[in-house]
Copies of this chain bind each other. A is one copy, B any other.
């Protein structure tokens, strides 16, 4: 990848927000919650549940963020068109994750996104997204994480892991009330200033 050192430096501070489209309350609660928690754990700055509201997801995400720390913004109910328009107006770039897009492994699409050094809005849809999502009016890039059907949760995870070059998995979260101490065996938890097993 060209400019890998420069990109690495840039991506540390490059803002990413995830927009989840097509959520169906009740039916999609667990999956969308996993997408939101993946976004938070892998150092996205925020999550937008577009077009609908679902207080159960908001509650879970805020509870986790309160306990495990960090600065993760959650919003819901905004229309995806307005969110995309506002993001672009503010100078950001829009990435649509889709199995049909440019393959993150076999193309240099990720390098191109990073080299722009702009805030990134990642649209995570479902199988049947509006055709508009593929157009340049909406997405600056259509990115596929492999070209097989699998999971928007997995696709987002790999996208973020590659975008941040793995460093997101080593990050300490500010204001955490609870931390895991990685261990060969068993569970080690640190709560506030104490360590327990």
| Residues of A in contact with B (beta carbons under 8 Å apart) | 28, 30-31, 34-35, 37-38, 40-42, 64, 68, 99-107, 134-136, 142, 144-151, 153-158, 161-162, 166-170, 173, 179-188
Contact = CB atoms under 8 A, between A and B. Distances in A.
Contacts of A158: 157-158, 161, 169
B31 A134 contact: no
B101 A182 contact: yes
Given A37-B149, A161-B158, A180-B144, A186 B134 contact: yes
Contacts of A187: 100, 134
A157 B153 CA distance: 9
Contacts of A105: 166-167, 169-170
B149 A41 contact: yes
A40 B147 contact: no
A169 B104 contact: yes
Contact of A31 (B31, B182, B188): B31
12 contacts: A38-B151, A40-B148, A42-B154, A68-B149, A100-B182, A100-B188, A101-B184, A106-B169, A142-B183, A142-B184, A147-B179, A150-B157
A74 to B, nearest CB: 15
Contacts of A151: 34-35, 37-38, 153, 157
How many copies of this chain does one complex carry? 2
A167 B106 CA distance: 9
Contact of A34 (B41, B146, B153): B153
Given A31-B31, A104-B169, 6 more contacts: A38-B151, A68-B148, A100-B183, A105-B169, A134-B187, A150-B157
A121 B38 CA distance: 23
A24 B120 CA distance: 36
A182 B144 contact: yes
